[in-house]
Amino acid sequence: MIQSIIRYMRGYVKIRVEGYSPERFLNLCRHHQIYIWGLTPCGNAYELYMSLKGFRKLRPIVRKTHTRVVLISRVGLPFFIYKYRKRKLFFLSFFLCMGLLYLYSSFIWDIHFEGNEKWTNETLLEFLETKNVAPHMPKSKVDCAQIVKDIRKEYDDIVWVSASIDGSRLNIQIKENEDTFREDGEDKTVSPAKGVDAQSQEDTEQPKDLIASKDGVITSIITRTGVPQVHEGDTVSKGDILVSGRVEVVNDSLEVVGYQYQKADADIFADTQMHYKDTISTKYKKKYYEKSKRYQYYVKIGSWFVDLGTLKNNYKEWDLRTNEHQLKLGENFYLPISYGSKVIKSYTPKEKTYTKEEIQKQLTENFEQFSKRLQEKGIQIKENSVKIHIGQNEASATGELFLNERITQEADTEIIEIERSEQDESVRTDN
């Protein structure tokens, strides 16, 4: 492949050698180190390929061998340039295009995420922008290893990240931990001055109790550190201490002489109860689209936006749809050029009523999605008494859910100080 490209760049010719002794012609070409290839017999003659440099050396060989050389074809860049030598604008455009392609290939024009379900592309792009990673940035400034570290540090529930550059696209593959979920409003930032190790040490030194986050009946308790206050089968209320971080220190007389404090740790599951209610309207508006449409085409080059025409809208009820496509060369070489169209379609809304089957299907799907979210959080639904009620204007699914879930919640351990009275001890000596 490389040899063919070099030959094309230098140029070569195809010739036919005829005459008294074409074999002697070939031997002399070898003697004078003239490289030939593609030799094929053609009757009493031979056809072959030869470089331009070798072709210019043939005159004395032809005279000596009394042969005749017929030029069949010319191939290569030198002949192409000579043929179109008067078309200067063509060559200028060609080299300008090559220069632009080289310039564009040194930038990142698209960031593609794979494997992310919990964190949306918009959220991840906003975070990367705070780290100066965004489309239109030079490839030389992309540090894939640092991108991986930043994402892993920011999002605790992302267990694996891979970043790579394919053409003009930055591919980021993500694997999320399905067993962990970020609580709303939970602050998990670590002070840069203290670091992760300092925070872990502080959490270990701070004594903690485990209390019940809701009412329930204990079904399983596995204690690693701390003193359990409940047993399997006990009924607990919200706020009750399940595992204490305060350990009593007793003497030989089983009297409490002090306390040791630690951070309680345990897995405690309980049967709990939850009220479920989901309400939807029995009526909806159906759109009847008309045949009339309004189009507007546009071209986007980087941050420049060019509209082709104006989009006049005098409809009372309408929908706007946008279709956009980004240009690319090959599979991964994306260009900073996009084109698309905006379409406005008018419609007439009419009020409709859901059928009984449609209402039941929608409420059932909503309940299945709710159950799936509970299971993703590690909550098991043991039984439910949800029933569907359909009224004139609205329908609802209500009932009780009987769950089995983890109910532990951390709370500060109460510190108890014991006052010690010092007594004088008499010294006895044996006579």
Q: How many helices (H) and strands (E) does the chain have?
A: 10, 25
pLDDT of residue 269 exceeding 90, the answer is yes
Classify domain 2-83 by CATH number.
3.30.70.260
Tell me the per-residue pLDDT of 313-337, one tens digit each, with 9 for 90 and over. Answer: 777 888 888 888 888 766 666 777 8
**CA nearest to 280, candidates 377, 365, 379:** 365
**CA nearest to 402, candidates 275, 236, 269:** 275
pLDDT of amino acid 419 = 67
pLDDT of amino acid 181 = 43
In the predicted model, what is the mean pLDDT of the chain?
82
15-29, 101-115, 144-158, 209-223: least confidently modelled range: 101-115
- The whole-number average pLDDT for the span 266-278 is 93
Question: CB-based contacts of 396: which residues, under 8 Å, 6+ apart?
Answer: 277, 278, 279, 280, 363, 388, 389
131-145, 210-224, 331-345: least confidently modelled range: 331-345
Instruction: Tell the CATH superfamily of the 107-176 domain.
Output: membrane protein fhac (3.10.20.310)
Tell me the per-residue pLDDT of 15-54, one tens digit each, with 9 for 90 and over. Answer: 999 887 788 888 898 888 888 888 888 888 889 999 888 8
Positions of E strands within 303-354: 304-308, 318-329, 333-353
pLDDT of amino acid 300 = 84
Tell me the per-residue pLDDT of 234-249, one tens digit each, with 9 for 90 and over. Answer: 999 999 999 998 888 8
The domain locations on the chain are 2-83, 107-176, 197-270, 277-282+354-404, 285-351
Instruction: Identify whether the C-beta of residue 15 lies closer than 8 Å to the C-beta of residue 48.
Output: yes
The helix (run of H) or strand (run of E) holding residue 131 is: none
256-265, 274-283, 381-390, 420-429: least confidently modelled range: 420-429
Q: Of 135-139, 178-182, 209-213, 259-263, which has the strongest mean pLDDT?
A: 209-213
- The whole-number average pLDDT for the span 337-353 is 87
pLDDT of residue 399 exceeding 90, the answer is yes
pLDDT of amino acid 400 = 93
Long-range contacts of range 40-43, CB-CB < 8 Å, 24 or more positions apart? 42/16
pLDDT of residue 198 exceeding 50, the answer is no
How far is Cα 226 from Cα 410, in angstroms, rounded to an integer? Answer: 12
pLDDT of residue 71 exceeding 80, the answer is yes
pLDDT of amino acid 275 = 93
pLDDT of amino acid 23 = 86
Positions of E strands within 124-215: 137-138, 158-166, 169-176, 208-212
pLDDT of residue 422 exceeding 70, the answer is no
- The whole-number average pLDDT for the span 102-131 is 84
Confidence of residue 179 (pLDDT cuts 50, 70, 90): low
pLDDT of amino acid 331 = 63
Ramachandran assignment for 235, one of left (phi > 0), alpha (psi -120 to 50 degrees), beta (any other):
beta
* Helices 144-154, 121-130: crossing angle, 10 deg rounding: 110
pLDDT of residue 10 exceeding 70, the answer is yes
96-100, 105-109, 176-180, 405-409: least confidently modelled range: 176-180
Which DSSP letter does residue 97 get? H
**How much of the chain exceeds pLDDT 90, in percent?**
21
Give phi and psi for 134, each to the nearest 5. -160, 160
How far is Cα 287 from Cα 318, in angstroms, rounded to an integer? Answer: 10
How far is Cα 230 from Cα 239, in angstroms, rounded to an integer? Answer: 13
How far is Cα 185 from Cα 180, in angstroms, rounded to an integer? Answer: 15
User: Comparing 381 with 117, which gets the higher pLDDT?
Assistant: 381
Confidence of residue 205 (pLDDT cuts 50, 70, 90): low
